[in-house]
């Protein structure tokens, strides 16, 4: 084998290793036992939505989040199809009509993690961009979960080494 071939091979290995270590961010939902029940890759343009049925007034409530530069979740909106549910969440009474839904006017709020009680009553669903998952179907009965962001090397996701 020539020195050129060896050099090209070594450069390729170094480049591949560098790419494998590229950090990627994922939204994860972690169960009480510490197991990730959802792990979905996200980027700066991703929209993350948690939708659930309001236990008192009925109807869906959707909280929308995006990533911040510091890899936290920033809640940007709360929408619901039920006016009473909107008023329930309106900390200052500000609700406006948004198409056929009601938007709760709230300031953006940043979370490092979001604790959620997932159950069949709330029928919680998580949507990342166009991909949705039924969280209620992923737990047994009622369970507290933690929604957060994790940043890991790309290789851990490629090799299925956890979220």
pLDDT in tens, the chain (163 residues): 787 777 666 666 655 655 566 778 889 999 999 999 999 989 989 999 999 998 888 889 999 999 998 889 999 999 999 888 888 877 677 899 989 999 998 888 999 999 999 999 999 999 999 999 999 999 989 999 999 998 887 677 666 666 7
- Alpha-carbon distance of 16 to 80, in angstroms, equals 46
- What are the two backbone dihedrals, phi and then psi, of residue 71, each rounded to the nearest 5 degrees? 60, 45
In three-state secondary structure terms, 54 is: coil
Q: Which helix (H) or strand (E) holds 11?
A: helix 3-20
Q: Which residues of 118-151 are buried (b: 16+ CB within 10 A; e: fewer)?
A: bbeebebbbbbeeeebebbebbeeebebebbbbe
pLDDT at 20: 61
pLDDT at 121: 92
pLDDT at 87: 83
Q: How far is CA 129 from the centre of its chain?
A: 10
Q: Which residue has the tokens 């290793």?
A: 17
pTM (whole model) above 0.85: no
Question: Pick from 118, 108, 106, 122: which is nearest to 147 by CA?
Answer: 118
- Alpha-carbon distance of 151 to 70, in angstroms, equals 11
pLDDT at 69: 87
């Amino acid at each position: 084998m020539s020195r050129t071939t060896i050099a090209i091979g070594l450069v390729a290995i170094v480049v591949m290793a560098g790419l494998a270590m590229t950090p990627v961010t994922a939204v994860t939902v972690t169960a009480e036992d510490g197991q990730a029940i959802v792990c979905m890759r996200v980027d700066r343009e991703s929209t993350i939505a948690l939708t659930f049925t309001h236990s008192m007034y009925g109807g869906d409530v959707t909280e929308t989040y995006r990533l911040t530069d510091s890899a936290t979740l920033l809640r940007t909106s709360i929408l619901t199809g039920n006016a009473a549910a909107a008023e329930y969440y309106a900390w200052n009474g500000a609700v406006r009509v948004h198409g056929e839904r009601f938007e709760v006017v709230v300031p953006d709020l940043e979370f490092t993690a979001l604790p959620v009680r997932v159950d069949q009553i709330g029928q919680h669903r998580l949507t990342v961009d166009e991909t949705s998952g039924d969280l209620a179907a992923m737990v047994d009965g009622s369970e507290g979960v933690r929604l957060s962001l994790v940043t890991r090397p790309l290789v851990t996701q490629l090799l299925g080494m956890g979220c």
